[in-house]
Amino acid sequence: MESKQVLFFLAVTGLTICSVSASIEFNDYDMMAQAFCTAATEQPAYVYAVRRNCAGTTPTCNEICTGLYSSIRKDIRYSRDLVECFDAVNVAKRRPTFADNPGSIQPDEKKLGPKTYRYGSGGCTWKENHCGPNYCCCRARNEKKFHVEPE
């Protein structure tokens, strides 16, 4: 499949992610979910957006995140001791794509683009074998409660 080359920016809470495709590809969904999960955590942590099936036998996000405990801890060189689900998101697929935008004029002004639904911590316990979140937000953090010193 031939695709036009264009710079695509997604800004979420100051985080910019780049892609070079005019159409949204599957890895772009992963990047959107990763940006979402990173922005959603309220404490210092390693954050992972983990794909969750929406069909067939599918575990809860709690089960997915805790099931990845060893892999996540190995990936971060055992620097954190707690792995948990803290949020979940559905990144909608089959959304409209926008025209190239090489200049300052927005060719698709006022058109709806990417769409997400945030489940919050309730997404971590979303029913097994039911569609809902297609990404689990997993994090690895220190077990101690996060505390911000007042200024």
Put simply, whether the predicted model's pTM sits higher than 0.85 gets the answer no
Give yes or no for a contact between 43 and 141, defined as CB atoms under 8 angstroms apart. Answer: yes
Q: Profile the chain (151 residues) by mean pLDDT over runs of 10 residues.
A: 29 38 70 97 96 88 97 96 96 88 87 94 89 95 67 58
114: Cα separation from own chain's centroid = 13
Tell me what pLDDT residue 106 has.
87
Q: Distance of CA 135 to CAs 29, 73, 145, Å?
A: 9, 19, 25
Strand partners, 91: 116
Tokens coding 126: 């979303």
CA-nearest of 8, 140, 131 to 65 is 140
Tell me what pLDDT residue 151 has.
58
Question: Under DSSP, is residue 9 helix (H, G, I), strand (E, B) or coil?
Answer: strand
| Domain locations in the chain as residue ranges | 8-141
Tokens coding 27: 């890895």
Tell me what pLDDT residue 40 has.
96
Q: Distance of CA 136 to CAs 12, 60, 140, Å?
A: 17, 9, 13
